[in-house]
Amino acid sequence: MLQAVRFQGAVLPGVRFGEDSPKPGANTPVNTPVSPPADSFKATHACKNAKRAGGGLKGHVLAYLAAVATTLGIGAPVVNNLNQGIHQNNTAITQGMNGLNGQLNGINNQLNGLKGTLGQMDVAGMVEQVAPNNVMVKGANGLGSGSWVRDTKGNLYILTNHHVVDGNSIYPYSDIPPTFKIRMYNGSDTSSATEVEAQVVKLPNGKFAMSDQSDAHDMALLAVTTPNFHLPANVKTIQLRDLQKEPLKVGEQVVVIGTPLGLTDNVTVGHISHIDRKIGLEPANIFIGTDAPINPGNSGGALYDMQGRFIGINTAGVRGANNLGFSIRTDVIKDVLSSWGVELQQ
């Protein structure tokens, strides 16, 4: 029987071509300047032209080789061979660096893969981060679970199932919006639970942010009404996984956190057994099938992937079956909330 589960760097030395003549003086004979050899002039001229053309260190080296070649009368083919050798060496160095970069990228990819594998194994580390987000939603006739969410405007809400709040207000008065006790345990410390009140959000159109007879989904949105309430520093609102960019995969490990049978912050672990189930209970919803145990009181709580990202609202289980549970997918959740005028932070 299928049932909802609310519970009841170097510089080269300068190259000098000739020495400066001493300055004329009283005791210094004035010599008639001797013109430098034509070849030396050519070498100096070639060097200056090459330097003027730029090229940095390589340009200076080539300029020096060109100047020496001109001075010594070395032909152009020899210079060309020198240039070709330098070019080949540069090419070999570049290729070697590219190969090294490729090896480093491969190592990085292997490290990232190992990190992902370790992340799959670190259930305790992930749970420690997200468990404080879980709350108990308690009404007059039963209880369920919920998760803290924040919209793009900074407003704080509690996301849960409709069947957790339907007919379960602690105040049986028609003029008071459905109201519930919200308990936060922030881990296993049940002796210092924080309790506040929250009401179903009233929309601009006058309706409440919860399913009614014309809806086929099973969701509700609450807001804390207790004055001066601030979310504790260790409690982080949920981070949604974008299923369009990163689709769910059958076999992924998942974690359920909730308050089954009133047991606070209870954790169960399983895998995704199906990614787009449709069941008779809520035909418009698309469910994630999971073998992580979902029991009465888990309704409205969070289903997380192993990176601690919210991927669904735990909604139903099959009594008598072995760990056959269903959670509303985040793409459906986002669509419903958007229809209520609420856009969640990513």
Q: Which residues are catalytic?
A: 163, 212, 299
**Residue 318: beta bridge partners?**
2
Distance CA 90, CA 188 (A): 64
What lies within 8 Å, CB to CB, of 263 at 6+ separation is 297
Angle CA 140–164–265, to nearest 5: 95
Query: Of the candidates 129, 139, 127, 144, which has an alpha carbon nearest to the alpha carbon of residue 264?
Result: 144
Q: What tokens appear for 173 in the block?
A: 């008065």
Query: Of the candidates 35, 70, 36, 74, which has an alpha carbon nearest to the alpha carbon of residue 50?
Result: 70
What lies within 8 Å, CB to CB, of 338 at 6+ separation is none
Query: Of the candidates 199, 193, 167, which has an alpha carbon nearest to the alpha carbon of residue 180?
Result: 199
DSSP calls for 90-140: HHHHHHHHHHHHHHHHHHHHHHHHHHHHHHHH-HHHHHHHHGGGEEEEE-S
Distance CA 305, CA 281 (A): 24
**Residue 327: beta bridge partners?**
288, 314
- Give phi and psi for 290, each to the nearest 5: -145, 150
What lies within 8 Å, CB to CB, of 343 at 6+ separation is 151, 152, 337
DSSP calls for 197-223: EEEEPBPTTS-BSB--TT-----EEEE
Distance CA 20, CA 116 (A): 70
